[in-house]
Amino acid sequence: MRSMNTFTATLKQLVVPVSIAALFTLFTACGGGSEASPTAGTQAVSKAAVGEKIFFDTSLSEPAGMACATCHDPARAFTDSHALAISMGVSEGVIPGQFGGRNTPTIAYHVLTPVFGFAEEGPYGGLFHDGRAATLADQAGGPPTNPVEMHNPDMASYVDKVKNAAYADDFKRVWGNDVFDNVADAYSKITATVAEFEKTDTRFAPFSSKFDYWLKGRVQLSSDELDGFNLFNARDKGNCAACHPSIAPSSATPPLFTDFTYDALGVPRNTAIPANGDPNYFDLGLCGRADFNSPTLCGKFKVPTLRNVAVTAPYFHNGKFSNLRDVVKFYVTRDINPELWYPPDGSGNIVKFDDMPDQYKTNVNITEPPYDRRPGDLPALTDAEIDHVVAFLNTLTDGYILP
């Protein structure tokens, strides 16, 4: 977690409030964002509108069948809605039977993620569970050629598909007639186009949950929801807000429920992930990145937003949990009743933090509530209190209809 003051200060320095203000202006100005065509004399086409077409185009994979939206379905806050992904914890690629190693996160509200950096308390920001992509455009360049995702053999084959798409002329109107001449250049323009859609379309940052309307005084929370909110914030109870802040980071931005820091929670191993069939394979998070090898970063993953969390199962970087109540119960009983979550070894001893190599287990956070307990202690939340926290989390789903 980051202390509130530092958090606000860092956000101010790094998110550049101007960009948030600009974003909101865009939202109100045109609802979808637009950029005039640089090609004079042709009808103006918005970059975001072309980006939207690319985002939903299932002909851009090899073979055809998978778009960004296949894994990031707007009906589920841009997560994977396939039953298999929810039960296994990870998404299947366009080649049947090929699975990635990580849960598909929501990509809503990511326009507000600061670029990756280091603050006094450690790393924060960046895209992906390990922050390795600096910008939405960098990120959008990954899936097209990832063999367990859209499976294009190379950039040229992806560019070629866009060149033959029905909206290729619109793409040229945005970028110029010679845009397809150079493969690397065209590829980066395609990713910038998709990023423009993600940055400007209101569906990615609607702030239309019951909680948002409650903040504006337009609806009441039920007593269970309100109790859950208080337990979520209370330092000696859930203490969830320590890492998932429920206060607005700036006057222009409502609460995001993430401070964008990284932490090791010791989430149990998900044996459904094919890569985990190798007992020596571990997803090390931050220290698994090519650019870091500091042992203190091993097992740490980015704190995700909790907006829409009720509709974005499965949970955690490895998709281990498919039920929100289990997640909250895990937080408060991990250190009191580890046998509920971790398997025994050959001699019947429970192996805590079984998804991390032994030498990194000391990185797991065992000092901050709610996981500062020891066997015999009372959990930070009772069963009824867990239900109330879950009731509160349910108020974070966008698209709430005011009574």
* Choices 3-11, 138-146, 181-189, 217-225; region in contact with ligand HEC by CB under 6 A: 138-146
Strands 117-119, 122-124: pairing kind:
antiparallel
Applying CB under 6 A, which of residues 162, 205, 267, 364 lies at the interface with ligand HEC? 267
Please choose, from the candidates 371, 363, 353, 367, the residue with its C-alpha nearest in 3D space to the C-alpha of residue 297: 363
Cα 394 to Cα 397: distance, rounded to the nearest angstrom: 6
C-alpha dihedral, 293 to 263 to 276 to 333, nearest 10°: 150
Applying CB under 6 A, which of residues 327, 356, 391, 396 lies at the interface with ligand HEC? 327
240 binds ligand HEC (CB under 6 A): yes
Applying CB under 6 A, which of residues 47, 173, 317, 334 lies at the interface with ligand HEC? 317
Which two three-digit tokens encode residue 376? 């015999």
Q: Which of 23/150 has CB closer to ligand HEC?
A: 150
143 binds ligand HEC (CB under 6 A): yes
Applying CB under 6 A, which of residues 42, 73, 365, 372 lies at the interface with ligand HEC? 365
Handedness of CA 71, 72, 76, 77 (dihedral sign): positive
47 binds ligand HEC (CB under 6 A): no
Q: How far is the CB of 230 from ligand HEC (least distance, A)?
A: 12
194 binds ligand HEC (CB under 6 A): yes
Handedness of CA 208, 393, 298, 235 (dihedral sign): positive
Q: Which of 45/241 has CB closer to ligand HEC?
A: 241
Applying CB under 6 A, which of residues 1, 183, 215, 272 lies at the interface with ligand HEC? 1
189 binds ligand HEC (CB under 6 A): no
Residues 208-237 binding ligand HEC (CB under 6 A) are none
At residue 300, the 3 state secondary structure works out as strand
The count of residues interacting with ligand HEC (CB under 6 A) is: 50
* Choices 31-39, 202-210, 309-317, 341-349; region in contact with ligand HEC by CB under 6 A: 309-317
Q: Give the chain's radius of gyration (CA, Å).
A: 22
* Choices 11-19, 32-40, 299-307, 345-353; region in contact with ligand HEC by CB under 6 A: 299-307
68 binds ligand HEC (CB under 6 A): yes
Cα 88 to Cα 108: distance, rounded to the nearest angstrom: 22
- What are the angstrom distances between the C-alpha of 267 and each of 42, 69, 260? 54, 27, 18
CB 93 within 8 Å of CB 149? yes
At residue 248, the 3 state secondary structure works out as coil
Query: Across the chain, which distance is largest between two alpha carbons, in Å?
Result: 77
Cα 230 to Cα 144: distance, rounded to the nearest angstrom: 43
Applying CB under 6 A, which of residues 175, 301, 341, 400 lies at the interface with ligand HEC? 301
Cα 242 to Cα 231: distance, rounded to the nearest angstrom: 12
Cα 229 to Cα 116: distance, rounded to the nearest angstrom: 29
66 binds ligand HEC (CB under 6 A): yes
Applying CB under 6 A, which of residues 89, 114, 125, 304 lies at the interface with ligand HEC? 304
389 binds ligand HEC (CB under 6 A): yes
Applying CB under 6 A, which of residues 70, 81, 145, 209 lies at the interface with ligand HEC? 70
The total of other beta-carbon atoms located within 10 Å of residue 311's CB is 17
328 binds ligand HEC (CB under 6 A): yes
Q: How far is the CB of 100 from ligand HEC (least distance, A)?
A: 5
Which two three-digit tokens encode residue 386? 């867990």
Residues that bind ligand HEC in the complex, under the rule CB under 6 A: 1, 66, 68, 70-72, 91, 93, 100, 102, 104-105, 107, 110, 127-129, 136, 139-140, 143-144, 149-150, 194, 238-240, 242-244, 263, 265, 267, 301, 303-304, 306, 309, 312, 315-317, 327-328, 331, 365, 368, 370, 389
